[in-house]
Chains A and B, each alone.
Chain A
Amino acid sequence: MRLSDLLTEETITVSLTHKDKQGIIEELLDLAMKTGKINDRTAALKAVMDRENLMSTGLEKGIAVPHAKSKAANDLAMSLGISAEGIDFASADGKPSHLFFFLLAPETAAGPNVQVLAQIARLTADQGFCEALKSASSPGEVLKIIRDAE
């Protein structure tokens, strides 16, 4: 399953506006809502924040993957936010996060959900890919970088 099949220019931003974790997650959720695959914003936000409260989804090297499964999703709903300056997301290495891959999955789509998360893990293991995304100046450019990497 390709990330470029789940993302559109509408669900990508290269300039996240919020600087706090809750604000970032809500901004990503609002982007993901544009897919039309999320039927309950409140429930979706709760699911993602509950997961976030288990342990921060801020990983190492500037990557964050806020995600959850919820009845609020009819299908896999994904968005991507980029912050060039970086945001404190309580990451595993204590460094600011720049690339935020948001994924909300239905409760009954474990297989595809796991595939997409694995795809994110594999793509972001490539430092060159991450640097290219951070430097992207438009959602269209982001989508092209991802398509080329896949």
Chain B
Amino acid sequence: MAHDGVIKKILLYVDGSEECVTAAQYAIALAKKVDAELRALYVVNMSLLKELLRARIFVKIEEMDYEQDLTQDGERYLNYISELARSKGVDIKTELVKGVVNKEVTKKIEEWGIDLLVMGELEPVLSRTDTFHREAELIFRKAKCSVLIVKDAKRVEHIYNTVETE
């Protein structure tokens, strides 16, 4: 089917937070509404693991163990989001990669020709040393496409629930 709309390819950034589930609901509803292709991406934060290894908080076997845990977590989140999409008759392609989070996301935006990145709400006040939300903010600033930050979880849940189930 030809896509003539403004939004043709949506990428949902998945980080396991509650906010990203809200973002997923919104992305699914939006993709259905505008007939856009939908993808979801989870990035295993390898730079964080390396940082903990360098700081000697982790030993090598621990780094490998946590990498496995984070990978399994990511697969779980992507499976859950796939189910959310499937239940609304929306096709979604999911991918899990490993690396520096903001770099992997911005790379995929270009590689996949994404024209809208959807992500969960950022924390209102950033902790100065908060690595997690710094990645989200870096993605927001570096993404070369438009970025939609989803807020108002209650309203979004209502929107999602009113999407026709298939």
Partners in one complex: yes
Query: Contact check: which of B56, B66, B70 meets A92 at CB < 8 Å?
Result: B56
Q: Which of B45, B59, B69 contacts A55 (CB 8 A)?
A: B59
A114 B45 Cβ-Cβ under 8 A: yes
B interface, how many residues as a size bin?
A: 20 to 34
What residues on B are CB-neighbors of A55 within 8 Å? 59
Contact present for B52 and A54 (CB under 8 Å): no
Known: A54-B61, A114-B70. 19 other contacts (CB 8 A): A1-B127, A2-B127, A51-B62, A59-B55, A59-B56, A92-B56, A111-B70, A111-B73, A113-B66, A114-B48, A114-B52, A115-B48, A115-B130, A119-B129, A119-B131, A122-B131, A123-B129, A149-B128, A150-B128
A-B complex: 10 closest residue pairs judged by Cβ atoms: A110-B69, A122-B129, A121-B55, A150-B127, A115-B132, A55-B59, A110-B70, A118-B131, A2-B127, A111-B16
List chain B positions with a Cβ less than 8 A from chain A: 15-16, 45, 48-49, 51-52, 55-59, 61-62, 66, 69-70, 72-73, 127-132
